[in-house]
Amino acid sequence: MGQLFSDTSKDEDCGELESSFTACFKTNTESKIIPQETIDSIELHLTKGNIQGANSVISAALKNIDNIPINVAVTGESGAGKSSLINALRGVGPEDEDAAEVGVIATTMRRTAYKHPKIQTLTLWDLPGTETVNFPLKDYLEKMKFQEYDFFIIVSATRFTKLDLDLAKAIKFMKKNYYFVRTKVDLDLDNEKKCNPRTFDREKTLQQIRSIYVNAFSQNNMDALKIFLISNNNLSDYDFPFLMDTLVKDLPDQKRYNFMLSLANITEPAIDRKRNSMQQAVWLEACKAGLLATVPVVGILRDDVEKVKEKLNHYRVLFGVDDESLEAMAKDSQVPVEQLKKKIKSPYLLETEGETTLGEMFLKYLEKFTSATGGPLATGLYFRKTYYLEYLFLDTVTEDAKVLLRQI
């Protein structure tokens, strides 16, 4: 790795590091992946030229991000679409091996845990419908371990019930966040259009559905809340993107990163937010490893190559542009998988031509990166060779995800 700083340049390099850190983490509060007090502590260490102190704080923050669990409770009436919503949040199809069963009326009184396939710290809990239990709500809350969840999603499909209201009151009493989701609005719109083809007004119908729930809460002296109207069959339409934005915004900073990575690529802004979060994590990892140094082009070793390949594959998986995701996407959209691969760049990013050495390949990508992006490089901060490539990987898989989103 070599020496981080020479004695003569330590103050100057610390200044560049501090400037780059501030630029990287000068994001909206809703996008930060570490708490402000942690950011302030890192900046203080950098101001004093204490790289080891900064790295210590960063290491603790990254460990917390990697290990802290996120538990989401999905509850509501049976048949409202809870299982479909859980599958949508996990990015799995109804026929996938580990999918929550759709269309099955729950008969068990036990909660069921579903791990996110890519983010192991995220668990979604399917709770039995409150109308299926034969014991008081207080006992229901205790049996379902309500204190363990970060937030609740209350799902409804047809009507607002007193049980929904009582559940919302109980969650509010525990000072937890809850979000009311009205599913199957696509079916409501289809029915309304069939019944009133000449006078059908899509937005008016949606507003009528929303008003039913808002008025019910108001009439029962509950604060007005946002009602998210969604279709589990079409996540990019209706309010699902707004629901995801709200969940991310309301989560604590240290839980925001992994939850952000779990989200489906349903809009281009969602893809950009995922990239922004990962860029912050890459920067933190770079500092943690003590990577402030002039980039050595020579001496790129075999283990470096393997680590670089692993990192690129990891990014492709998180952004849904890996081979397995492409095959599933091709099957769903009924197009050849090779047709999708031709539209993206990340599968071929580390290919070399002829006698090109890895060092020459790295120089080529480094030149491409510095000409196309700003960020830390623009401030004079130098990371170890692999971190230049990681930023390139992020840019590439981000654009690939957008290309595929437009394609499908």
pLDDT tens, residue by residue, 373-386? 444 443 334 455 55
On whether the CB atoms of residues 206 and 154 are closer than 8 A, the answer is no
Per-residue pLDDT tens for 73-100? 998 877 788 888 999 899 888 777 788 8
**Is pLDDT larger for residue 205 or for residue 135?**
205
Return the axis-axis angle of helices 162-173 and 202-219, rounded to nearest 10°: 60
Q: What is the pLDDT of residue 333?
A: 84
**Confidence at 4, pLDDT banded by 50, 70, 90:** very low
Element (H, E) at 126: strand 122-126
Under DSSP, the state recorded for 222 is: -
Q: Write the CA distances from 161 to 129, 155, 216, 391, integer angstroms.
A: 12, 11, 9, 50
Question: Which of 163-167, 282-286, 356-360, 393-397 has the lowest average pLDDT?
Answer: 356-360
Q: What is the pLDDT of residue 98?
A: 82
What are the residues whose beta carbons fall under 8 Å from the beta carbon of 213, sequence distance 6 or more? 156, 160, 180, 182, 227
CA distance 239 to 18: 39
- Give phi and psi for 274, each to the nearest 5: -65, -45
- Give phi and psi for 262, each to the nearest 5: -80, -15
The CA radius of gyration of the chain, in Å to the nearest whole number, is 24
Q: Write the CA distances from 97 to 93, 101, 232, 303, 328, integer angstroms.
A: 9, 10, 19, 35, 13
Report the range out of 51-60, 66-75, 100-109 with the highest average pLDDT. Answer: 66-75
**Confidence at 331, pLDDT banded by 50, 70, 90:** confident
Q: Which residues pair with 154 in a beta bridge?
A: 75, 180
Report the range out of 22-36, 132-146, 161-175, 284-298 with the highest average pLDDT. Answer: 161-175
**Is pLDDT larger for residue 35 or for residue 306?**
35
Per-residue pLDDT tens for 313-327? 999 999 999 999 999
- Check: pTM over 0.75? Answer yes or no: yes
Which residue segments constitute the domains of the chain, with CATH numbers given? 10-66+266-407 (no CATH), 69-259 (3.40.50.300)
